[in-house]
């Protein structure tokens, strides 16, 4: 359960941020959004795939944590079985919300129900005089960077979609009951279509800095087998 509120001194002056390096709030997440800048770290830990919004048709890059809803095979109560945690997980309990009538101005919001916030412990978000603490200043910079990189990630996915470089894919797996299951609704970059690009279009990918993320995505697909192994160990 979450309760989103705009962060402000009057209502939240007593709140402190409690560090939770296990990120318990994501223990039942089977995927999360990943930014283009995270692909190099993500690809050696999780499969990076794309999902398509059925209403807008827009593609979004995500890291897979499991094959079933609420399944996260990387989470344990002590630590994640990974060397990297995506920024979308680490930003909790904070998020940014656009101010009414604006596309460039944002408000910092919190999930007031989060266990990472406490009146009794943690690093304070506000000083006694109402000014922002170094902790909150750092959080706001993190969120601002996230928003900027989110726009770049959306541009990346749109460019690939416009060039028709996505293909629908599925993951086949064997269950403990002996029956096969297919996970559908996932998209990957089509290498054959990439190879069919004109020199101009391929150079366009290079000039935009998209080749690195593309190859990181393709490399990450080898992590699907890791999910299968961890799944059988759970």
Q: What is the pLDDT of residue 156?
A: 98
Q: What is the pLDDT of residue 175?
A: 61
Q: What is the pLDDT of residue 178?
A: 58
pLDDT tens for residues 151-183? 999 999 999 999 999 999 988 776 655 556 678
Rounded Cα–Cα distance for residues 61 and 156 (Å): 10
Q: Is 149 exposed, middle or buried (0-12, 13-18, 19+ CB in 10 A)?
A: middle
pLDDT tens for residues 6-17? 999 999 999 999
Q: Which residues contact 51 (CB under 8 A, 6 or more apart)?
A: 31, 59, 60, 62, 185, 186, 187
Q: What is the DSSP letter of 143?
A: H
Name the band, by pLDDT with cuts 50, 70 and 90, for residue 223: very high
pTM of the predicted model, to two decimals? Answer: 0.91
Q: 132 and 34 in contact (C-beta within 8 Å)?
A: no
| Two tokens, residue 227 | 């999910």
* Percentage, residues of the chain above pLDDT 70: 94
Q: What is the DSSP letter of 133?
A: P
**Both ends of the chain: CA-CA distance in Å?**
26
Rounded Cα–Cα distance for residues 234 and 232 (Å): 6
pLDDT tens for residues 52-77? 998 999 999 999 999 988 999 999 99
Q: 37 and 43 in contact (C-beta within 8 Å)?
A: no
């Amino acid at each position: 359960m979450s309760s989103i509120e705009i962060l402000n001194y009057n209502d939240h002056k007593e709140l402190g941020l409690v560090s939770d390096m296990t990120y318990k709030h994501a223990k039942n997440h089977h995927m999360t959004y990943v930014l283009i800048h995270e692909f190099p770290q993500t690809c050696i830990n999780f499969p990076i795939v794309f999902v398509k919004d059925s209403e807008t048709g827009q593609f979004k890059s995500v890291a897979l944590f499991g094959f079933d809803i609420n399944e996260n095979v990387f989470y344990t109560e002590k630590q994640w079985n990974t060397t990297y945690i995506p920024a979308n997980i680490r930003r909790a309990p904070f998020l940014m919300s656009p101010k009414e009538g604006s596309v460039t101005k944002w408000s910092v919001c919190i999930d007031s129900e989060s266990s990472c916030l406490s009146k009794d412990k943690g690093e304070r978000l506000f000083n006694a005089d109402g000014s922002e603490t170094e902790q909150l200043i750092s959080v706001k910079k993190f969120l601002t960077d996230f928003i900027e990189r989110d726009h770049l990630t959306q541009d990346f996915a749109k460019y690939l979609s416009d060039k028709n470089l996505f293909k629908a894919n599925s993951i086949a797996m064997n269950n403990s009951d002996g029956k096969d299951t297919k996970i559908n609704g996932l998209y990957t970059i089509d290498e054959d279509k990439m190879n069919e690009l004109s020199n101009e279009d391929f150079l366009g990918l290079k000039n935009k800095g998209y080749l690195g993320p593309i190859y990181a995505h393709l490399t990450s697909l080898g992590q699907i087998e890791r999910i299968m192994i961890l799944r059988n160990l759970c």
